[in-house]
Structure formats: structure tokens, C-alpha cells
Amino acid sequence: MNEKQTNTKTVKSLLNLAHKSINQGDISGVLESLAASGFLSGVKFRLQKKRGDNVLSFEIDECVAKAIDEACNAATSGHSIRNLSSWLWKTADYATRSIWKNEYGKRKKLPEDTQITATNEYETQE
């Protein structure tokens, strides 16, 4: 067996472990397996290629994190997840599509020289 086949087997076994862990409610096992498999990096890379410059990198990170949260919440609420990798991909993809449709359009409407400043809404005015 060559190195590529060994790596593929390792990734598949880690994804299988993550799938078993989520259905057993072992959230730390899910996170460890997903991180070790490189699956989350692959999802981020595919989303960046798919959305291009329309969705920012940190927004993609947030979408992937929300997908993991939703899967973990569903599993701990008693829902069975048949295919964890599909669940994560579809959830993260849907979230980035929503950002692209809703937020990117607003960004494009702003003139290039527009400066956006943040304000602290809790600041007391004197």
C-alpha cells in the first residue's frame, strides 16, 4: 500500500470515528477526530474556492464552526446523524450562501472610498 492509500484510509477511519463519536454524544471525540483528519480544512478550502472573494475567510471559519455546533446540538438533542461529513458540508455551504446573497450585495453597493467605523452602543453620552 502506498502513502496516499494509507493517508486516505487514515482520514476515512478518523471520519468514521467522528461519526461514531457524535452519535454517542462524545463531542470532544468529534472535534479531535475532525481536526486530526483535516476534514475541516478541506471544507474551508472548498468553500473558499466556491465562494471566491464574495465571502471573507473569517466568515467561512464562522460558518464551519456553526455547522459543527449545529451537528453537536442535534446529536445531544437525540437526533441521529447518518453522515456527519455531509451534514457539515451542507450546513456550512448553506451558511456561506446566505452570507453571499445577503451581505455581499450590501458590500458591493458601498462606494469604494466609504469608511465604516464601529461605535460602542453601550457608551454613555454626556
pLDDT per position as a tens digit, 62-104: 999 999 999 999 988 988 888 999 999 999 999 999 988 887 6
Contacts of 61 (CB under 8 A, 6+ apart): 44
List phi, psi (to 5°) of 114.
-70, 130
CA-atom Rg of the chain in angstroms: 19
On the question of pLDDT at 21 being above 70, the answer is: yes
Bigger pLDDT: 100 vs 109: 100
The 10 Å Cβ neighbour count of residue 67 is: 22
Mean pLDDT, residues 48-57: 87
Residue found under cell 455531509: 86
Domain spans, the chain: 38-107
CA distances (Å), 63 to each of 13, 66, 72, in order? Answer: 25, 5, 14
pTM of the model: 0.73
